[in-house]
Structure 1
């Protein structure tokens, strides 16, 4: 040991009495050891990152994108589940717009509508953020007969993500299938841009506008009865519940039950529309925070940003009954929308409308806190449908 220290001092060219050599003697240890530790840390960090990236790539290659729109992990839906007999995989990051349209057009062969069957005369109904909605004629059959339809056209220019989302909505309608109380998909045009979704036309319009018209001093207008009775309220309500039960069977919920999202035919057949939130549940497994719903139609758990489910639709159905009984009046008229959660937490309820009979009030009180339910027990859809059928059999023609 003494020889080694002496050799070190000799290499440093200092005498035995030089104290600075003690510092210089350990200088190499102070520099080299931390440097080695940092180097080992960086190597380990690089290995960990490499393993993480390799695992992510392996998961993407094994799962991919099922169908046209991304599916929630709990569903694994594909074109085969929709009754097409084959699965379609369209990885978004590895395809062009042309190949995407080619693949999906082949999968949607049975729904394709030749563009020449659609009239060039378009009546604009609504101009949305991503699509414009028109009313037009579709000529089908032999000889060709005109049929009024609603045409939803994807706005241009549209990127790959917008095109995939639009095609995903067509896939969603196809997955849902047909139900008499849901707006039906008539077909699509997806072989080239612009993309069209052809929907059933319910010419009488939405229920909210219908209720407002019922306030006028008229009995009929354009062949439609505008003298709404309580029995007809039950009739419309039962149809809405039937559509919600259909969605529930597919593990879906609507998320925005309101008079504005119900279309009415001349015979008072109700068609539930506005399925944007249900589509989000189908593709993502949950609701996004970007889709806004008027606060006064939301259940307390939705206002508290808790996970949504069918119980929220049942709550909103109670609001819908209030809309129908009052011929389109907004709920909680005395409460600002920003104060509605505090209002509900204090267990305050709406005043009974003058046109609401004791029979309807007794049913509404079982629905939610808006009518005075103090048990916090919300009935399920089957119970509500049974109640509606019972009231339909015994209810008179009392006007609302």
Structure 2
């Protein structure tokens, strides 16, 4: 929902979607359905002024979590609108208890060609439909029926089947957001003392760093992941400079960075902790083994979304691989260690001659140390291989010392088992020898989006052309 909120001017009024009990730190408690005027919408905690029913101020002012708010009078406040939800999230939510056949939701889409997607439960499956918006501002799922707003579209498909035997009934039950989805600190409090953190369990280690599960014992005690960086890997000045850039990067498919500790040894990078661990282990687990192609493509698409954001911000990852993607609730994927490879080298970099992840690295980076967004695109092709093979090792049977010679001869990995030609073509596009011929992540987003399967709606005859003089309408809020 954050991406939609960021586009709104701060003068607009908002309605709370859930109850919230503040826990100090100037937080404002409220009930669902209360109205607010935005005072300052910087970061994840917004300064809001509570309003009476007549729109006048109650005199109460404080911080509220942004993801509990919806702009008044727009699609955001509708019970059936779920923001920029992924397909997998939509499926998991609709198949939960409290939802039945016909339960539905609408989610935003930045995919090419359509504005929103309609997801509907049909017994024990979920069907997805594209919602298009034409040049006149009207919405439709097929060419027989057009609607001036989404409410009218929904009401229509409550009496007219959207697919064979399938009517819309009630909105999907919404999950309340959690505090751990938010950055708990304003930007100017990024640096924290090590005493605020407790390391409880080691999750992994490399040559120059270790990762722990732990607790942040600050204003709110929460579980976090803490990456400790050996003091001799980088200087304090470099560490502060690099992490200061990283804290500006915020996207739902990037691991949220909470805080750093640059005073004391070792340095700390504190991030959110995701419940299912890294993608490679997940793909090899029983849960990962059960994923169908649709679920695998959803994972691939989420990673592309995160990388597209890094591309826009000119941030090169340098170690894009399944082991550096983390998985959370509802199979939300988040890219980890973005931008850190400039000064952090993990054990996965070790090979016979260079400390690089050989089988994920582009030939020009292997040969000359040239890392760019185009070398990240090569790595994404290998990552896509890992996803579609459910965790197979790339280049099986090929030693690191043989890899560069193998690639320079024009050889490429074969498609993993049961991988379609269309998906394999995306991999081959990423593995072009000339970096300039490889797709951008914007290109890759279009390619992956086009592979997603959407249901056709009920077939209907195409209506006659609209009469001449039909006025173009501005896109309007839902009534």
Both structures adopt the same fold (TM-score exceeding 0.5): yes
**Structure 2: distance between partners of 1:160 and 1:205:** 26
**Structure 2: distance between partners of 1:173 and 1:315:** 23
In the alignment, what sits opposite 2:260?
Answer: 188
In the alignment, what sits opposite 1:150?
Answer: 225
CA contact (8 A) 1:118 1:139 kept: yes
**Structure 2: distance between partners of 1:276 and 1:362:** 28
**Structure 2: distance between partners of 1:306 and 1:245:** 23
In the alignment, what sits opposite 1:135?
Answer: 213
Report the CA distance shift for 1:115/1:386 in structure 2 as closer, same or farther (over 3 A).
same
In the alignment, what sits opposite 2:250?
Answer: 178
Task: For residue 251 of structure 1, report the CA deviation from its aligned partner.
Answer: 2.1
2:455 maps to 1:383: no
CA contact (8 A) 2:211 2:227 kept: yes
2:240 maps to 1:164: no
**Structure 1: distance between partners of 2:207 and 2:308:** 30
Report the CA distance shift for 1:117/1:318 in structure 2 as closer, same or farther (over 3 A).
same
**Structure 1: distance between partners of 2:415 and 2:455:** 19
2:408 maps to 1:336: no
Could you state the TM-score of these two structures normalised by the residue count of structure 1? 0.57
In the alignment, what sits opposite 2:411?
Answer: 348
**Structure 2: distance between partners of 1:313 and 1:163:** 27
Output aligned runs, 1:59-208, within 5 Å. Answer: 109-113=188-192, 117-119=196-198, 122-139=200-217, 141=219, 144=220, 146-155=221-230, 158=231, 162-174=235-247, 176-190=248-262, 195-208=267-280
**Structure 2: distance between partners of 1:208 and 1:160:** 27
**Structure 1: distance between partners of 2:257 and 2:250:** 8
2:307 maps to 1:247: no
CA contact (8 A) 1:181 1:243 kept: yes
Please identify which structure carries the higher strand content.
2
Could you state the TM-score of these two structures normalised by the residue count of structure 2? 0.49
CA contact (8 A) 1:124 1:132 kept: yes
CA RMSD of aligned residues (A): 3.4
Task: For residue 186 of structure 1, report the CA deviation from its aligned partner.
Answer: 0.9
Report the CA distance shift for 1:268/1:164 in structure 2 as closer, same or farther (over 3 A).
same
**Structure 2: distance between partners of 1:211 and 1:244:** 20
CA contact (8 A) 1:318 1:367 kept: yes
Q: Select the structure of larger CA radius of gyration.
A: 1
In the alignment, what sits opposite 2:297?
Answer: 234
CA contact (8 A) 2:381 2:426 kept: no
**Structure 1: distance between partners of 2:366 and 2:269:** 33
CA contact (8 A) 2:374 2:435 kept: no
Report the CA distance shift for 1:392/1:163 in structure 2 as closer, same or farther (over 3 A).
same
In the alignment, what sits opposite 1:295?
Answer: 358
Output aligned runs, 1:249-288, within 5 Å. Answer: 249-275=312-338, 279=342
Unaligned runs of 5+ in 1: 1-82, 84-106, 282-289
Secondary structure of 1:201's aligned partner: coil
Secondary structure of 2:452's aligned partner: helix
Task: For residue 392 of structure 1, report the CA deviation from its aligned partner.
Answer: 1.7
Output aligned runs, 1:32-43, within 5 Å. Answer: none
CA contact (8 A) 1:113 1:188 kept: yes
Task: For residue 346 of structure 1, report the CA deviation from its aligned partner.
Answer: 1.6
CA contact (8 A) 1:230 1:395 kept: no
1:149-207: per-residue Cα shift (whole Å, max 9, x none)?
A: 0123455xx47964334333432322x32111111211234555664332111131111
Report the CA distance shift for 1:131/1:362 in structure 2 as closer, same or farther (over 3 A).
closer
User: Which range is displaced more, 199-208 or 300-309?
Assistant: 300-309
